[in-house]
Amino acid sequence: MVLAFLLGIVAARLKRDLKFPEGLFTSFTIYLPVAIGMKGGCKLSLASFDEVIYPAIAAV
C-alpha cells in the first residue's frame, strides 16, 4: 500500500498521467471495499457488544 502512495507521489512530481487498464481499475474498485469490509467484519466479530455500541451510535 505504501508503494502505491509513493508511486502516486513520484508520478505527480514528474507530471505523469498514471492510468490503469480498465480491467485492473475495475478489479481494484471491487477488491478494495470488499477487503476493507472483510477485515472490519472480522475485527467486529471479535469485539463485545459494549465495545461496539457507543461508537456505532456516535457514527449514526
The SS3 of residue 2 is helix
Domain contains 33: yes
Q: Which amino acid is at 51?
A: E
Domain contains 11: no
pTM of the complete model beyond 0.75: no
pLDDT of 60 reads 93
* 14 touches 6 (CB < 8 A): no
More confidently predicted of 59 and 19? 59
Secondary structure, 3-state, 4-56: HHHHHHHHHHCCCCCCCCHHHHHHHHHHHHHHHHHHHHHHHHHCCHHHHHHHH
pLDDT of 26 reads 94
Q: Which amino acid is at 59?
A: A
Query: Could you give the number of structural domains in the chain?
Result: 1
Query: pLDDT tens digit string along 16-52?
Result: 877 889 999 899 899 999 999 999 999 999 999 999 9
Which residue range is the domain that position 59 belongs to? 21-60
Domain contains 6: no
Which residue carries 465495545 as its cell? 51
Domain contains 9: no
Domain contains 42: yes
